[in-house]
């Protein structure tokens, strides 16, 4: 019973569920059992199944425990580590002790995430012992910049941040651009709501990103790099700082790396909260200490970027793929994926889905595999209505498109985009008009205001959606929305504006009947739009007669006495939802009880 490693997921989600406490209790129990010399306890980055955290894995036994509480620590140590019995009540399911037996893991192919959830991200030794920095070493000692760019081109790697531009071509342009001073910038301004893969990568495997940047710098001839990371990710920032210091200490960054004459160092820049800074020219303006307003391209950053110098900008996940390309070789890399989209993609699953979390699959996997086989489908016996993919630039695909393979082209063809890989699952309680309104609220407030189509067009579209959701829509509004969408898409200055109409266009394309119900019948079929909603009712079985609903009700519709359950008089209810918010027992329901 010796030589074991206990991995405790310490990503942001597991931390919030108490993982650090679990870690401390496990450490104490290991110590108390006299196993301190035989058992290594490792805090790791995100293991993936955030909904089931805190996650504990035991190696080499290959046993996965989920929803571990601090009180379980002693039992895990006593039963598993000392006695050698699996604690079955903490397994994912009765018949699944190993992650390979859990569908959530079995359908994945972890390549970029291979270290996340396995290594201690704050120890460079852990990264190096799994082959880390070997690709950089090869790039510096065995390959010319030309050969590196050729390898990335041959691998077919495409940008993982949104548009899917071939990474090797970007590298080629920057390599070919004249100039002695060049920059590499890692775009870690992960702003798409619903996307958290970059956060998880920076938290769980920061050295992979640094190694990717150094290889890129070697390829294009850069001496200096920047990571532009959102301020909203304190743990990622902290792990990145640690990793940068370690990489300098080991000589992977700095002057004359490995005695090859290669000088490269990386500076951290922390964002200040502006979604538009994910756009590359806006991001560069922000690094230079200015307002994050985009500028027209060309010139592209590859020719004139940061401080007017040739600049290569890649996203976190793209850069984390680079060491894999060199390690496995471009042919092996390109053997995964589809004809036009190579490799794997990390997706963040969230919304009304059972297994929320972070997953990685070969590009070309279908939405059905992603949402049902891995994600476990929609909980609470509800029905899948739509899959929102690609964030505010993406679209909502209906349930009958579940067999669409996820690659750049097929998603675009169906009105969504790959984007950064945020997948929000919507069940039949979601109102698609309200979802479209949500995204336009977002893009309207995040527009930098520089160009008119975005500054005026998006709020105009948003106002139409507000009118529709409040029951004041007109039949011609749908055509107006389509026309405005066309104008904004074709004339906005940057990606934010050009893609902002997508959520409206895709919901109009697949859910026009919902728009019509709001406009023609003055009904919100999902009961989300409060002004169109039915009266609230109270579930007598959940009601504890506390009286809070009656206390907040402005119209006297909620009434009752402490001895019985409360009810809401439909004729008096003004649909304000105050009782819905006030009820501590979730007894107040929108609409009639089903």
Partner 1 sequence: MPARDTEDRVEDHAGRPDQLIRTLQQVQEESGYVSEESEQRVADALGISIGRVHGVVTFYHLFRTRPPGRHTIRLCLGTACHVLGADRILATLEDELRISVGQTTEDGLFSLEIVRCLGTCSLAPVMMVNEDVHGRLTPEKVRRVLRIYARRKGPSE
Which of 85, 89, 241, 290 touches partner 1 by CB under 8 A? 290
Token reading at 517:
């119900």
SS3 348: strand
Whole-angstrom Cα distance, residue 210 to residue 213?
A: 5
Any idea of the CA torsion for 230, 236, 241, 242, to the nearest 10 degrees? 180
Which of 231, 258, 452, 572 touches partner 1 by CB under 8 A? 231
**Contact (Cβ atoms closer than 8 angstroms) between residue 25 and residue 70:** yes
Please choose, out of 66-74, 172-180, 364-372, 575-583, the segment that lies near partner 1 by the rule CB under 8 A.
575-583
Q: Is residue 117 part of the contact set for partner 1 (CB under 8 A)?
A: no
Which of 105, 233, 264, 408 touches partner 1 by CB under 8 A? 233
From 360, 45, 423, 8, select the one nearest 200 (Cα to Cα): 45
Question: Strand 63-65 and strand 395-398: pairing?
Answer: unpaired
Q: Is residue 154 part of the contact set for partner 1 (CB under 8 A)?
A: no
Q: Is residue 191 part of the contact set for partner 1 (CB under 8 A)?
A: yes
Q: Is residue 426 part of the contact set for partner 1 (CB under 8 A)?
A: yes
Q: Is residue 232 part of the contact set for partner 1 (CB under 8 A)?
A: yes
Which of 121, 162, 164, 194 touches partner 1 by CB under 8 A? 194
Q: Is residue 225 part of the contact set for partner 1 (CB under 8 A)?
A: no
Which of 41, 424, 461, 587 touches partner 1 by CB under 8 A? 424
User: Which is nearer to partner 1, 364 or 391 (by Cβ)?
Assistant: 391
Q: Is residue 580 part of the contact set for partner 1 (CB under 8 A)?
A: yes
**Contact (Cβ atoms closer than 8 angstroms) between residue 191 and residue 275:** yes
In the bound complex, what is the minimum distance in angstroms from residue 72's beta carbon to partner 1? Answer: 19
User: Which is nearer to partner 1, 72 or 446 (by Cβ)?
Assistant: 446
Q: Is residue 292 part of the contact set for partner 1 (CB under 8 A)?
A: yes
Any idea of the CA torsion for 167, 172, 174, 175, to the nearest 10 degrees? 140
Buried b (16+ CB within 10 A) or exposed e, 514-538: bbebbbeeebbbbbbbbebbebbbb
Whole-angstrom Cα distance, residue 529 to residue 398?
A: 20
What mask of x and - would describe binding to partner 1 in positions 519 to 558, judged by CB under 8 A? Answer: ---------------------------------x------
Q: Is residue 459 part of the contact set for partner 1 (CB under 8 A)?
A: no
In sequence order, which residues have a C-beta less than 8 Å from that of residue 55 and are 6 or more positions away? 8, 9, 14, 19, 47, 48, 49, 64, 65, 66, 68, 117
The residues with which 265 forms a beta bridge, in sequence order, are 224
Please choose, out of 90-98, 174-182, 287-295, 371-379, the segment that lies near partner 1 by the rule CB under 8 A.
287-295
**Contact (Cβ atoms closer than 8 angstroms) between residue 552 and residue 579:** yes
User: Which is nearer to partner 1, 257 or 545 (by Cβ)?
Assistant: 545
In the bound complex, what is the minimum distance in angstroms from residue 585's beta carbon to partner 1? Answer: 8
Question: Strand 588-590 and strand 536-538: pairing?
Answer: antiparallel
Whole-angstrom Cα distance, residue 434 to residue 399?
A: 18
Please choose, out of 18-26, 150-158, 165-173, 352-360, the segment that lies near partner 1 by the rule CB under 8 A.
352-360
Question: Strand 254-257 and strand 262-270: pairing?
Answer: antiparallel
- 3-state SS string over 244-284? HHHHHHCCCCEEEECCCCEEEEEEEEECCCCHHHHCHHHHH
Phi-psi region of 390 (alpha: psi -120 to 50; beta: other; left: phi over 0): left
Q: Is residue 291 part of the contact set for partner 1 (CB under 8 A)?
A: yes
User: Which is nearer to partner 1, 315 or 352 (by Cβ)?
Assistant: 352
In the bound complex, what is the minimum distance in angstroms from residue 232's beta carbon to partner 1? Answer: 6
Please choose, out of 69-77, 84-92, 349-357, 451-459, the segment that lies near partner 1 by the rule CB under 8 A.
349-357
Please choose, out of 165-173, 176-184, 337-345, 348-356, the segment that lies near partner 1 by the rule CB under 8 A.
348-356
Token reading at 101:
């037996």
Please choose, out of 65-73, 157-165, 332-340, 433-441, the segment that lies near partner 1 by the rule CB under 8 A.
433-441
The residues of the shown chain that bind partner 1, judged by CB under 8 A, are 12-13, 15-17, 50-51, 190-196, 199, 230-234, 269-275, 286-292, 348-352, 356-357, 388, 391, 422, 424, 426, 430, 435, 438-439, 442, 446, 448, 552, 577-578, 580-584, 586
């Amino acid at each position: 019973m010796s030589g074991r490693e206990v991995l405790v997921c310490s990503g942001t989600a597991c931390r919030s569920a108490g993982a650090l406490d679990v870690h401390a209790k496990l450490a104490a129990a290991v110590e108390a059992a006299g196993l301190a010399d035989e058992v290594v306890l490792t805090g790791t980055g995100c293991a993936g199944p955030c909904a089931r955290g805190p996650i504990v894995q035991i190696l080499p036994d290959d046993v996965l425990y989920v929803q571990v509480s601090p009180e379980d620590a002693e039992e895990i140590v006593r039963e598993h580590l000392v006695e050698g019995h699996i604690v079955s009540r903490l397994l994912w399911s009765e018949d699944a002790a190993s992650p390979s037996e859990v569908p959530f893991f079995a359908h994945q192919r972890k390549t970029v995430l291979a270290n996340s959830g396995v290594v201690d991200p704050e120890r460079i030794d852990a990264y190096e012992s799994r082959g880390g920095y070997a690709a950089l070493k090869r790039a510096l000692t065995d390959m010319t910049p030309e050969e590196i760019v050729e390898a990335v081109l041959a691998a077919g790697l495409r940008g993982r941040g949104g548009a899917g531009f071939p990474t090797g071509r970007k590298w080629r342009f920057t390599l070919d651009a004249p100039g002695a001073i060049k920059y590499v910038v890692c775009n870690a301004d992960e702003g798409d709501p619903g996307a958290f893969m970059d956060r998880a990568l920076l938290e769980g495997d920061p050295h992979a990103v640094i190694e990717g940047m150094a290889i890129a710098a070697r390829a294009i001839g850069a001496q200096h790099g920047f990571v532009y990371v959102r301020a909203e990710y304190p743990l990622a920032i902290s792990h990145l700082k640690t990793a940068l210091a370690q990489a300098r200490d080991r000589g992977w960054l700095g002057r004359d790396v490995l005695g090859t004459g290669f000088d490269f160092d990386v500076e951290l820049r922390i964002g200040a909260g502006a979604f538009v800074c994910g756009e590359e020219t806006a991001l560069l303006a922000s690094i230079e200490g200015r307002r994050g307003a985009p500028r027209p391209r060309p010139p592209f950053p590859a020719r004139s970027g940061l401080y007017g110098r040739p600049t290569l900008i890649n996203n976190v996940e793209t850069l984390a793929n680079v060491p894999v390309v060199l390690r496995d070789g471009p042919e092996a890399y390109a053997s995964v994926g589809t004809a036009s989209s190579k490799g794997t993609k990390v997706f963040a699953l969230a919304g009304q889905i059972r297994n929320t979390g972070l997953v990685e699959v070969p590009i070309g996997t279908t939405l059905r595999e992603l949402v049902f086989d891995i994600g476990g489908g929609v909980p609470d016996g509800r029905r899948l209505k739509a899959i929102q993919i690609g964030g505010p630039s993406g679209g909502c695909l209906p349930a009958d498109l579940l067999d669409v393979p996820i690659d750049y082209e097929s998603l675009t063809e169906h009105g969504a985009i790959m984007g950064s890989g945020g997948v929000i699952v919507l069940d039949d309680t979601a109102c698609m008009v309200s979802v479209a309104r949500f995204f336009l609220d977002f893009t309207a407030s995040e527009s930098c205001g520089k160009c008119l189509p975005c500054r005026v067009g998006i709020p105009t579209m948003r106002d139409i959606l507000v009118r529709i959701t409040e029951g004041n829509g007109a039949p011609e509004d749908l055509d107006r929305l389509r026309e405005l969408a066309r104008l904004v898409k074709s004339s906005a200055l940057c990606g934010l504006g050009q893609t902002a109409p997508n959520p409206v266009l895709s919901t109009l394309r697949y859910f026009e009947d919902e728009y019509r119900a709001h406009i023609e019948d003055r009904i919100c079929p999902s009961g989300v739009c409060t002004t169109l909603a039915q009266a609230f009712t109270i579930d007598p079985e959940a009601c504890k007669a506390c009286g809070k609903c009656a206390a907040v009700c402005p119209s006297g519709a909620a009434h009752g006495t402490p001895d019985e359950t409360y009810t809401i008089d439909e004729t008096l209810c003004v649909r304000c939802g105050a009782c819905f918010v006030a009820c501590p027992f979730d007894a107040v329901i929108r609409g009639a009880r089903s």
